[in-house]
Amino acid sequence: MPELEQALAEVAAEMAERTDRGDVATYIPQLGKVDPRKFGIAAVTNDGRVILAGDADQAFSIQSVSKVFALTLALGKVGDALWHRVGREPSGNPFNSIVQLEHENGIPRNPFINAGAIVVSDVLLAGHQPREAIGEILRFVQFLADDDTIIIDREVAASERATGYRNFALANYMKSFGNLHHEPELALGVYFHHCAIAMSCRQLAMAGRFLANGGRNPATGHSVVSAERARRIGALMLTCGHYDGSGDFAFRVGIPGKSGVGGGILGIVPGVASIAVWSPGLNEYGNSKLGSIALEKLARMMNWSIFAPDAGRRQ
């Protein structure tokens, strides 16, 4: 088994040679401008190592990866009461589908599809102005990554708002069922802005450390969430983190992961490391094509799978 440094270098070198890189998300105009040749990967181990390869220090729009952090905050605010408004099951449908909402009385299937994340944003908005809720999410991500240079890309947020007709439809539909407590445009303002957070692979992997370490920041030992909550967030990432491609990702990679249409993926190896990968081209499910391939290769090289009994010892 190779050392992690060697494995990341090999994965990055192989991805650099690939020509079929998927398609960037042109339906959000700002994302359509990103160079599809970019590829970065970072791993932050629980013993404090930070290992980088490729464009790991270039910031990109994390998009739906931010839903992991928004969910963590929402659970901190309302606990299990959240599950009265959002389900915990895979959707089996595209991330922006409206079909299930009609059959399930405006209750989104899980917090990682767009409808579910809009409800989570509505929860975070309670008692706040949108600007305050957005600031709270950004500060939380900065705290997790130990990096106050992380910003929200205002141009991406504006681009999402200008073209987010499907998300407006989802929000208005849920409002009609009483599952949004604020006006749709306010909840959507929070949603669009936290999806527009810009981070590098290094920063994203740093922010995910607490999920790889039983809810604690391994650098300080301070608890971010309980170990039980960290496990449950990881379970949702495994079963729902890649939309209707979640089963295939679990089958091929075998670790919890959350993707975003900006081409980023946050992967968690419990007890071992947090990994972030970025390649802007997407596959048919809206997940990073090379990012998924890279994590599959890395997991196989390092025997990193929650289904491998000795995975926690492989670093």
Is 243 among the residues known to form the active site? yes
From 65, 224, 261, 269, active-site residue: 261
CA angle 263/268/270 to nearest 5° reads: 175
Is 67 among the residues known to form the active site? yes
From 24, 34, 61, 64, active-site residue: 64
From 86, 191, 258, 279, active-site residue: 191
Is 64 among the residues known to form the active site? yes
From 38, 67, 175, 258, active-site residue: 67
Is 261 among the residues known to form the active site? yes
Positions annotated as catalytic residues are 64, 67, 191, 243, 261
